[in-house]
Every structure is written in structure tokens, then in C-alpha cells.
Amino acid sequence: MIRTIQSLHKYLLIAVALLPLMSLPSCQRKSLVEDVNVESVLITGLQMSDQSLPELEKTTFSIDHRKGLIYNARPLPKGTKIGRVKLQITASPDALPKVYIGGVEQPSTSGLDTVNMSKHAEGVRIVMQHRKNTALTKEYQLKINIYERDPYTHRWTESAHPAPATATRDDLLLSRLVDNGQAYYYFARTATEQHLWRASHKSPEIWQEVTIATALDSPIMDIAAQGGSDAIICLQKSGQCVVYSHANGGDWAQSNALPGKASHLLGNLYYRGENKPLIAVQSADGLHFNSESGVRIPQTFPLEDNARLSLTIEHHPVELLIGGSVADTTALVYSTSNGLDWLTPHDAKRVSKVWPSKLPGCMVYEPQDKTILLLKPATQPKQATSPAMRVYVSLDYGTVWQRLTEESILPALYYDPSQTHQRGLALYRGDDGRIYLFGGLKGGTPTLWVGQPIRFQ
């Protein structure tokens, strides 16, 4: 009896020991099946395209598998009308997509079928069904976001602080605003005077005039931002450069950064701790980029009456320059990442469609959504139109420009037909995302406007 009980106990121990091993394959198989089921009906990518809507093909759709939601984080422009589009769904070959719009199932789709999305506002459902097991499904809601109003509209208020006093003078020959990452500098030049103003990033509304050293051997003609410190590069009429350093107590020091004598300052590339001023140099056979032996500058190149912007693209510094003669049908757009080759989209048969004028305009870059906003006075002899100020946006670093038409993008004063636009216009972005605008109007008080972009609220 005792031996029987011992034998039974022995068998029970063996059975208990083998039980996890017996159940393990079943658990593994169940888990494996569930993983396969989920993966086989997931959408991994979605894209829509329409030849009449080039921005649609560039639109990125995000996929939230947990919520079963597909959406475009950056809304399409206001007024976008979506009709028949090519719908491309990326998923496992085992999944069969079914599209429902307004509750109505659309004709059987593959990955590239044409679907009528004109009623997308009524709701779009995409049901992914396993081809071999129809009980396995995954449902998504497709939401196509379109701005209800122009996304570049701002809520404008007048600052309690004035803009630089020289911004509204009617005798300005050149004005320039630059940002060195720590402070903003505004330079204005007349036939007989030069004025330099500074506002820090910490206090972007407070402008204070900088005293230009009387010991300089010739007047300052233009400025560019110098990276790495609170300083700017200033081109003198003599062709030499001086550096104003606020960080060093407001020192003015001679710069040896330029080869030869420069006639124009075109910007500055700051990369890996080094500054590379971009200049035009006069020689016996004309103007050249960077040195007398550099590339010949085209006659149409806007040397002085230009809008200028420095930005970083894929870790590389880029200088963007827009301007051009009113004789042309569109303003020229140039860019360079090394100062040796200034490229223009015109070379690739791309026309900017930016209004040409003798007034330079100004630009500001918004890193949050990688857009460039361009303000361009539309004054052109015998062809003045209303409004006299035009606004453009570029989503591809200046290659293609889209004109913005809502008048709430700028303060109403800039659209007033009674206003006369001139040099002095300045636009800059604060660290908090707000933008600041002043100048560009003849006469009046030097008002500083503060704009809150509605698209980030």
C-alpha cells in the first residue's frame, strides 16, 4: 500500500512537472496567431494624390493604431477641394481594404484605385479585412484636415514699445534686419546718415540705438549677422569690414575676414563655429562672388534691393535672397550653401511667381512647421494694385511660393490704399513663436506690431 502511494505520488510529480511543457506550445501558438492577426490587418502607410492638387501628394498622413485614426497633422490650405483621388494604402497582402464614405461602401479597392473623396466631410472609414479569415478586421477613421481660414492669419496688437525711429523715414536708401541668435539688429541708411538699433532675444520689443563709432574710416553700408556671439558684421564704404560686438562691451573691431575690397555684403554663413561672409567684389571685368577670381555675378542678381534670410537646412547653413528688377515678370530667388554657387529655381524652370518691385521686402522663418513667410511691397510703376503689400509662403525653402490673400495676415494698416509703402520694412520672430513687424510705411509714428499665429493655438 505504501509502495502504491509512493508510485502514485511519483507519477503526480512527473505530471505536474510536464504540465507547463504540455501547455507551452498551445500558449505560443495562440500568442503567435494573435500577433499575425493584428499585423496582417494593419495599415502601415496611406497616401493620396491628384494632379490638380500637388500639395495633396506631399501631405503626410499619420496613423494612430491604438485609436484607429489616420489624419494629416498639417492641414491642407484653406479652400482646398478634394474630388477624385488616387488612394494608395500600404498593408499586408493578406488584408483587403474596404472604403466607406458617408456610410456608403465604395467600389472594391486595391492599393491605387481612384476614389471620390468629395464627401469626405461626411466621414471616411477604412476597414481592413483578412482575406482568409473574414472575422479578422481592423477599422480606421480617415480625417482630412483643411484649414477653415488661412493658417498664416495673425492676431495683431500694438506693442507698448515703439519701433526704431528711423524705420518710417522717407529718405531711406537701405534697411536691414538680422538675427544672430542672441539679438536682433536693425540698420537704416540714408544719403547722409547711418543708424543701428538693437533688441535682445529676451526683450524683443525694446529697441535701443547703438552708437556707431566715429573712428571708422568710412560709413557703414550694410550689415550681416555673425554667429557664435552677440555681434554683427558691418561693410564699410571703403570695402573693408568691421565687427560690432555687444558681448565685448560694444567694441568696434576691424575684421580681416574679407578678401580684397567688397562692394556689397550678401550675408554670412555660420557653420561649425566659423563665419563665412558672402560678398560681391568689383574687378576690371565686373562683379564676382566672394573674390576677384570668383564666379561672375549675373546682371540681374539683386545686389542690394533684396530680402535676405539665413537658415539651416539639414545641418547646413543656407543664405536665401529674393529681389529683382521690376522689368522682370517675377522676383528672382537665389540661395547658396557655400557662397560659391548661387542657385535659383529659375535654372530648373521654376518661376517664383513673387511680385517684382524696387522695394526689397522681408522674410521670416518658422522652424516649428518649416515655413518661410515673405512680405513684398507690390509697388511697381504704372502697375500698382490694391492691396499694395503682398504676402507669400514657401513650404520648400524658397523653391515654390504660394500667395496668401487674407488681409488679416498683416495689420489692416498695411492694406490701407492711402498708405505709401517704402523701404524700412522689418519682420522678425521671437523665441515664443510670435512675430514682430514694423516700418515699410511712409511717415507716421514708428509702431511695433506683435502678431500671434493662430495655427499654433
Reported as a single tens digit per residue, the pLDDT across 429-442 is 999 999 999 999 88
Looking at residue 172, its pLDDT comes to: 92
CB contact at 8 A, 352 and 402: no
Q: What is the mean pLDDT of residues 367-396?
A: 77
Range in 15-24, 270-279, 351-360, 385-394 with the lowest mean pLDDT = 15-24
Instruction: Give the per-residue pLDDT at 286.
Output: 87
- Of residues 304, 308, 296, 310, the one with CA closest to residue 340: 296
Q: How confident is residue 6, by pLDDT bands cut at 50, 70 and 90?
A: very low
Q: Report pLDDT for 11.
A: 45
The pLDDT of residue 385 is: 52
418 or 242, greater pLDDT: 242
pLDDT score at 379? 64
> Is the per-residue pLDDT at 382 higher than 60?
no
Sequence-ordered list of residues with C-beta below 8 angstroms from that of 142, at least 6 positions apart, any chain: 46, 61, 70, 71, 120, 124, 125, 126
Instruction: Give pLDDT, residue 111.
Output: 52
Report which residue type is found at 357.
Answer: S
pLDDT at 258: 67
Claim: this prediction has a pTM higher than 0.75: no
What pLDDT score does 248 carry? 87
Is the pLDDT reported for residue 73 higher than 90? no
What pLDDT score was predicted for residue 37? 59
pLDDT per position as a tens digit, 130-158 = 988 888 999 999 999 987 767 788 889 99
pLDDT at position 173 is 93
Q: Return the percentage of the chain with pLDDT > 90, whole number.
A: 45
Mean pLDDT of the 102-107 span: 90
Q: How much is the average pLDDT of 31-60?
A: 77
The mean of the pLDDT values for the chain is: 84
pLDDT above 70 (res 225) = yes
Q: What's the mean pLDDT in 165-191?
A: 94
**Residue 232 predicted with pLDDT over 80:** yes
| pLDDT given at position 380 | 55
- Return the closest-CA partner of residue 194 out of 225, 216, 178: 216
Environment class of residue 70 by beta-carbon count within 10 Å: exposed (0-12), middle (13-18) or buried (19+)? buried
Overall average pLDDT of the 319-347 stretch = 85
Q: What's the average model confidence in pLDDT over 309-314?
A: 88
Report the percentage of the chain scoring pLDDT > 70.
Answer: 87
**pLDDT for the residue numbered 344:** 82
Which of 60-64, 231-235, 345-349, 395-399 has the weakest average pLDDT?
Answer: 345-349
